[in-house]
Amino acid sequence: ADEVFDYRFLPARPEGPGFALVLLHGTGGDEHSLVPIGEAVAPGAALLSPRGQVLEQGQPRFFRRFAEGVLDADDLRRRAGELAAFVTRAAVRHGLGETPRIALGYSNGANIAAATLLLHPAAFAGAVLLRPMQLPLGQDEAGRLAGQPLLILAGRRDAIVPAGHPEALRDFLVRAGAEVELRWLPGGHGLAEEELAIVADWLRALS
């Protein structure tokens, strides 16, 4: 076990791609929630899937918030540091060596993925951010990203992510040096079957 995170690790299979996926669930999920999605979008990839250690009325998440959509910036910074340290530890423990780590985060997990990348650019070689929000971080505290490829999937009818946030997050990440593709889906905050193919294609182009 890890000293900070409960997690699941599934080793790579021979047919897998040349990267590992770090799965970051949404509020109320756990280390099992995104494993089927990871398997679907990158068959045979090593999967590292931690459970967020903050509980909100019994629901795991990766950092605190004051209310829905009102994120606790100090806690976000602290937990992003813990997540960056965890992925480095786990990569050593599971022999991932130099295998690039791609974050795949949904909702609260997408927000911690983006914050971790901005504050600790070496944590991930790229990321898929499903329904992220703009982060309460200053551009001045963002580290320098080395052109990491990022895919943001936003929902046209998302009732949780306020209007304008996906574009604002994209611009923030681009200014930090990332290569960001923002794509819009017709639906809301929930994951849609159709996006799995989009994510799978985008990941395939990476390897």
- Catalytic residues, which ones? 107, 158, 189
CB of 87 to ligand MLT, least distance (A): 19
117: Cα within 13 Å, side-chain hemisphere: 34
The secondary structure of 28-45 as a DSSP string is: T--TTTTHHHHHHHSTT-
> Nearest to ligand MLT by Cβ — which residue?
108
Which of 20, 25, 27, 153 lies at the binding interface for ligand MLT (CB under 6 A)?
27
Q: Does 116 bind ligand MLT (CB under 6 A)?
A: no
Q: Does 111 bind ligand MLT (CB under 6 A)?
A: yes
User: Of 104, 125, 93, which is closest to residue 207 (Cα–Cα)?
Assistant: 125
Which of 16, 17, 26, 60 lies at the binding interface for ligand MLT (CB under 6 A)?
26
CA distances, 121 to each of 31, 84, 85 (Å): 23, 9, 12
Binding letters toward ligand MLT, positions 140-179, x by CB under 6 A: --------------------x-------------------
Nearer to ligand MLT, 61 or 101 (CB): 61
- Using CB under 6 A, which of the segments 8-16, 34-42, 82-90, 106-114 binds ligand MLT? 106-114
Size of the site for ligand MLT (CB under 6 A): 12
- Using CB under 6 A, which of the segments 36-44, 104-112, 151-159, 192-200 binds ligand MLT? 104-112
Alpha-carbon span 168 to 81, nearest angstrom = 23
Alpha-carbon span 179 to 144, nearest angstrom = 12
Q: What is the CA radius of gyration of the chain?
A: 15
Structure tokens that stand for 199 in this block: 């994510």
Alpha carbon of residue 29 to chain centroid = 14
3-state secondary structure (DSSP) of residue 100:
coil
Nearer to ligand MLT, 160 or 192 (CB): 160
Q: Does 65 bind ligand MLT (CB under 6 A)?
A: yes
Alpha-carbon span 113 to 123, nearest angstrom = 9
Which parts of this chain interact with ligand MLT (CB under 6 A)?
A: 26-27, 61, 65, 68-69, 71, 107-108, 111, 133, 160
